[in-house]
Amino acid sequence: MESTWKASLIKILVETDAIRNLVGWRVYAAQLAAVDEPTFPCINFEVEGGTIPYRNAPFSIFTVRFWFYTETSIGDANALYELADAVLRCTAIVGGNNSTVLDPGTTPTEIEEPNLYAVTVSYIGRGIHV
């Protein structure tokens, strides 16, 4: 089921014109270190969690950690995060027989390295089996 969540997240992000204009199709369902020859700017994410039984109706609870990378500035990384955040908070994510909307889980954190800037944040997906 996790692969369907990943595919749904990638589709939602790359089908948003403003995001695609910045990152193209560079939305990776893995941490940056696991991506062969990444190009920037890009969005990386990983999904953790699973289905938890609740009164015979399984709830889907996922944590999704995102990294928004640029090579230009921390301001550009924040701008990319803000675009994606607006999309992720108002779009239903469908994976398998589950549907959820993402809620903020952590406060965004800025990461600055030589020639690479990122904002990282986690969201919590709470949905019900449909």
pLDDT tens string 26-61: 999 988 889 999 999 999 998 876 656 556 666 667
Which of 3.30.2000.30, 3.30.1490.20, 3.30.2000.10, 2.40.30.10 would CATH assign to domain 2-129?
3.30.2000.30
The whole-model pTM stands at: 0.84
The domain ranges of the chain are 2-129
Q: Which residue has the higher pLDDT, 93 or 15?
A: 15
Mean pLDDT of 89-115: 80
Model confidence band, residue 20 (pLDDT cutoffs 50, 70, 90): very high
More confident residue, 74 or 99: 74
Confidence of residue 67 (pLDDT cuts 50, 70, 90): very high
Per DSSP, the three-state class of 78 is helix
DSSP-derived 3-state class of residue 45: strand
Q: How far apart, in Å, are the Cα atoms of 119 and each of 5, 54, 77, 95, 113?
A: 22, 34, 6, 25, 12
Question: So what's the pLDDT on residue 124?
Answer: 81
pLDDT at 3 over 80: no
Residue 93, amino acid: I
Average pLDDT, the chain: 84
